[in-house]
Amino acid sequence: MSIPKEFEKYEQIEVEQLPVPKHKLHTWTHFAGLYAAEHVAATEFVIGATFVALGAKTTDILLGLLIGNVLAVLSWTFITSPIAVETRLSLYTYLNKVAGDSMSKLYNWANVFIFTVISAAMITVSATAVRFAFNIPAQLNWYPSNLWFVLIVVLVGAFVVFITIYGFNAVSDFSGICAPWLFVMFTCGAMVLLPALSLSVLGSTLPASWQEFIDIGDQSIWTGVNSNGEPGIGLLEVIGFAWAANTITHFGLIDMALLRFAKKKIYGLATSTGMMFGHYVAWIAAGIMGAGAAVILGKSLVELDPGDVAYYALGWSGFVIVIVAGWTTAITNLYRAGLAAQAIFTKISRRRTTLIVGMVTVAVACFPFVFSQILPLLTYAGLLVVPVGAIVFAEHQIFPRIGYTRYWLSYRQLVFSKPAVASWLLGLILGFGLNIVDVMPFYYLFIPTWIFTILLYTLLAGRSGAREQYPAEEKKESEENDQIERYQEWKKNQEAVLNPDQSFFTRVLDGVSIFALVVTMVLGLNVLLASPDESRYIANRETFYSFGFICTIIYFVMAYWAMQRRKNIAQIV
């Protein structure tokens, strides 16, 4: 069917530059699965162990992580989700509209840096599992001390880059499969190694009360003493990091790209699956696993890397969890870095920019400090982008309430926003300046930085034209949006509707994969609850290692097979 003349111009525009059409919106279950998949990942091994090394106390961990992650969920729900749902635009598109092309390019450079570092850290984490399998020493310095480790990083990194360039859609689907398995394995890992800690502290395989569990934590996991033998971080620091760990995506508004597909603003609460399972349960479980592995090996936690911890918690399944979780997270972030680079160098293809960025990422991944310092790196990365989120928040939420005009820059047909660039730079100076003078924990620096940038941008934008009214331009914009909706409705009618395969055999495959997870969880519970003495504990642990690995293979084969059938046997209705 020929394209109506009034819609021809929209066919030349990238889909990402237009608001999400109504027929592409998702329910809350989609976002619950999406956030669970993204936030139960390889970083949890590193961050969970980092809290131990920083000397947090048990009660501070249990309470502080709960409060901090609840604050993060509320940040997505009341800061990110409303703007995403009202505009149906990604941050990149919205920023270009309110701050101009020059500001967008500066921001994309920041994203290239941030996502390159995160991807490099995940490649290093995956390499720790492979180096363990080949008996290569743990890399505990900021630089690599073994050439074989460098070779492993290069090989793992090359695989990540190759998949990112040629097979990202398949990896996205695979990440969704990984989410329930990752949650089960983190939980089981804690159950498998808690008896080892209990034996070392209490002399029995299972704490008899909640207080005994706290005693185990205080004496062998979260002792309140850091790796230097000094008093560690307290409740406020734990809350601050749990809240700040994802400032890139909520206060920084990166997740407008995801939440613009939500049917309702309240679906921001669906991020709780990632926060409560990934950043609460998994961080606590990772701390228990790290301390348990240290007891078994007779080493301190700082001498171990994720490969050591995962193997002694989960056996061969531990290799799988570190490699897969690091792999999927690295690919996702390298893809983001490649997109940001392509937005800067528009004449170069995404594949080529991804290849170039990927080569830099692999080089950075050879240095173990990247993953060992992931906690402060995430916080500083958030501080870098929070001022941009503040600018967009001010433009969208505050300007209409004080009589300023939203999108005033585009109405004036300007391509460079001095107020936006000045506010971002001065916001960064304030945030990093506060860190230098050390007036508050750096986990909370995003708060004064965000508030300061909002106030400054509002003041500067008001002087530059935001106070003025643009009725003709606003009317034209409204008419344009109406026409886009008509175009998207026409486009919807041209698209075939797929009815995914729901045959009996596909449901059987789903059932077998779920059963494999249930069996794995039962095996973990058997180690925790049916080990009256040390000899029985060791026997049950070995049983978990063997049969848990078999269940892992069964789960991935069945789940992937079912996913492929749903995609390949989908019918057009």
The number of helix segments (H) and strand segments (E) in the chain equals 24, 2
Task: Delimit the domains of the chain by residue range.
Answer: 25-377, 487-573
**Are 155 and 133 within 8 A, CB to CB?**
no
Identify the pLDDT of residue 347: 73
Whole-model pTM: value is 0.86
CATH tag, 25-377: 1.10.4160.10
Identify the pLDDT of residue 568: 67
The SS3 assignment for 371 reads helix
Question: Structure tokens of 7?
Answer: 């819609």
Could you say which residues of the chain have pLDDT below 50?
A: 571-573
Identify the pLDDT of residue 572: 44
Identify the pLDDT of residue 345: 79
Question: Structure tokens of 418?
Answer: 């001095």
How many degrees, rounded to 5, is the angle at CA 246 between CA 33 and CA 459? 125
Question: End-to-end distance of the chain based on CA atoms, in angstroms?
Answer: 19
How far apart CA 238 and CA 220 sit, in angstroms, is: 18
Identify the pLDDT of residue 571: 47
For the range 17-24, what are the long-range contacts, defined as Cβ-Cβ under 8 Å and sequence gap of 24 or more?
Answer: 17/93, 18/484, 18/488, 19/87, 19/88, 19/89, 19/260, 19/481, 19/484, 20/88, 20/260, 20/261, 21/485, 21/488, 21/489, 21/491, 21/492, 22/485, 22/488, 23/488, 23/492, 24/261
User: Residue 245: is it exposed, middle or buried by C-beta count within 10 angstroms (0-12/13-18/19+)?
Assistant: buried
Identify the pLDDT of residue 115: 85
CA 205 to chain centre: 35
- Positive or negative: CA dihedral 79, 80, 81, 86: positive
Identify the pLDDT of residue 573: 42
Question: What is the residue-wise DSSP string for 199-210?
Answer: HHHTSSSS-SSH
How far apart CA 271 and CA 33 sit, in angstroms, is: 9
The SS3 assignment for 262 reads strand
- Positive or negative: CA dihedral 135, 171, 167, 330: negative
CA 133 to chain centre: 27
How far apart CA 311 and CA 326 sit, in angstroms, is: 15
User: Residue 448: is it exposed, middle or buried by C-beta count within 10 angstroms (0-12/13-18/19+)?
Assistant: middle
Beta carbons within 8 Å of 57's beta carbon, 6+ residues apart: 218, 222, 223, 224, 232, 234
Q: In terms of Cα–Cα distance, which of 158, 139, 161, 140 is closest to 148?
A: 139
How far apart CA 290 and CA 52 sit, in angstroms, is: 9
Identify the pLDDT of residue 302: 62
Beta bridge partners of 223: 57
Identify the pLDDT of residue 81: 95
Beta carbons within 8 Å of 497's beta carbon, 6+ residues apart: 572, 573
**Are 454 and 133 within 8 A, CB to CB?**
no
